[in-house]
């Protein structure tokens, strides 16, 4: 899977905004959006904030798929902020495989993509 650099930016009203820069494959991002997995960010915007929801297409933008840029970001660990793939899911169920409570959204996406093949 060809990787790219993406920017995540979501507004949660009065609570605030979440942003992040991360590397992922286009298929992973597409599956995250189409599967409607609710990402559980926890209390990242303050005590009792409980932030969770499905990621919308408008909240993830492709920055670049330039191989050199991706290599530099990866080599120097220049990802930052909130990466929806690194958090747990909430309210997501599937009958196609057993969900482990400790699985990240990224791990669930990988399993869903494997099944597709």
Taking the whole predicted model, whether its pTM rises above 0.85 is answered as: yes
| Percent composition of the chain: helix, strand, coil (DSSP 3-state, to 5) | 35, 30, 35
Q: Average pLDDT, stretch 59-77? A: 98
**Contact between residue 87 and residue 106 where contact means Cβ atoms under 8 Å apart:** no
Using pLDDT thresholds of 50, 70 and 90, give the confidence band for residue 11: very high
Domain coordinates of the chain in residue numbers? 3-116
User: What was the pLDDT predicted at 49?
Assistant: 87
Q: Average pLDDT, stretch 78-86? A: 98
**Contact between residue 75 and residue 27 where contact means Cβ atoms under 8 Å apart:** no
**Contact between residue 99 and residue 91 where contact means Cβ atoms under 8 Å apart:** no
In sign, the C-alpha dihedral spanning 75, 81, 85, 88 is positive
User: What was the pLDDT predicted at 95?
Assistant: 59
User: What was the pLDDT predicted at 94?
Assistant: 67
**Span 19-38, pLDDT tens digits:** 999 999 999 999 999 999 99
CA 24/CA 5 separation, integer angstroms = 7
């Amino acid at each position: 899977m060809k990787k790219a650099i993406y920017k995540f930016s979501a507004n949660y009203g009065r609570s605030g905004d979440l942003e992040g820069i991360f590397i992922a494959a286009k298929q992973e991002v597409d599956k995250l959006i189409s599967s409607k997995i609710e990402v559980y960010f926890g209390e990242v915007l303050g005590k009792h904030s409980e932030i969770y929801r499905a990621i919308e297409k408008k909240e993830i933008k492709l920055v670049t798929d330039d191989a050199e840029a991706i290599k530099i970001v990866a080599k120097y660990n220049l990802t930052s902020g909130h990466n929806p793939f690194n958090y747990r899911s909430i309210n997501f169920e599937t009958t196609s495989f057993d969900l482990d409570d400790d699985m990240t959204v990224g791990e669930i996406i990988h399993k869903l993509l494997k099944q597709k093949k």
